[in-house]
Amino acid sequence: MQVFYVPGISGINATLNKSESYHCIHVLRHTVSDCIHLIDGNGGLYKARIIEADPHACRVEIIESNPDYKSGLCKLHIAIAPPKQADRFEWFLEKAVEIGVNEITPVRCHRSERKDINNERMEKIMIASMKQAIVAIKPTLNPMLPFPEFIKSEDTANKEIFIAYCDETANKPLHKALVSGKDTIVLIGPEGDFTPEEIRLAHGAGYKPVLLANRRLRTETAALVSCVVFNVMNS
């Protein structure tokens, strides 16, 4: 199944943007009357027939629609201090979208080595992963926030909220702490871990400490493990 990303689909006709049109018509050599599939980022999966094979603005007619394709009942929000190497964060985004995540907030911690991210590039990586895995809902990628600002501003009402850090004596495994069917937030720290003050701040806001493995994990691995555990618990 060849899938293209077309946000804002309404009615029986849609137009692919320039990059999607080029890929569809010029690269994949689709032509008039060929059938393709579209995702809109809001949960919709569509089957469409090409009616104008323009490599700059390919027009299609919707012939089948599923407006609520594999939408989960609960949501996962990962707040993560991006690793120093950008490709590691890109790898996490790609795999997290495939496995299942609804919202990602990069946070800047005291020990963070990366102070910013290229949101435009990250959005492209997420969309490519959505198309590959046929994920119809586009995860929200928020701007980077300082850790204290995230803790103070994030709405945690009616959610399960956790902070993962290196303290094997005190932390409960995430798979035992999770409550299935509940919206969840998991905080993942930088390579040097959260500072004691950041941990204190999170605890004060109600975040419960959890352990992700019986060994030390890289930041991006820890975040991905959280995605896997959440999706297994809610499958």
Helices 219-233 and 86-99, axial angle in degrees (round to 10): 0
Rounded distance, CA 82 to CA 121, Å? 14
Token pair recorded at residue 180: 């299935």
Its pTM stands at: 0.93
Q: What is the DSSP code (8-state) at residue 61?
A: E
- pLDDT, tens only, 206-225: 999 999 988 889 999 999 99
Task: List CB contacts of 185: < 8 A, sequence separation 6 or more.
Answer: 77, 78, 79, 154, 156, 159, 160, 161, 162, 207
Using alpha carbons only, give the angle 190, 72, 213 rounded to the nearest 5 degrees: 35
pLDDT at 34: 97
Strand, coil or helix: what is 206? coil
Asked which of 83-97, 164-178, 180-194 is least confident by mean pLDDT, the reply is: 164-178
Distances (CA, A) of 195 to 109, 115, 169, 218: 8, 16, 17, 16
Q: Which domains does the chain have, with CATH numbers?
A: 3-66 (2.40.240.20), 76-233 (3.40.1280.10)
pLDDT at position 29 over 90: yes
pLDDT at position 169 over 70: no
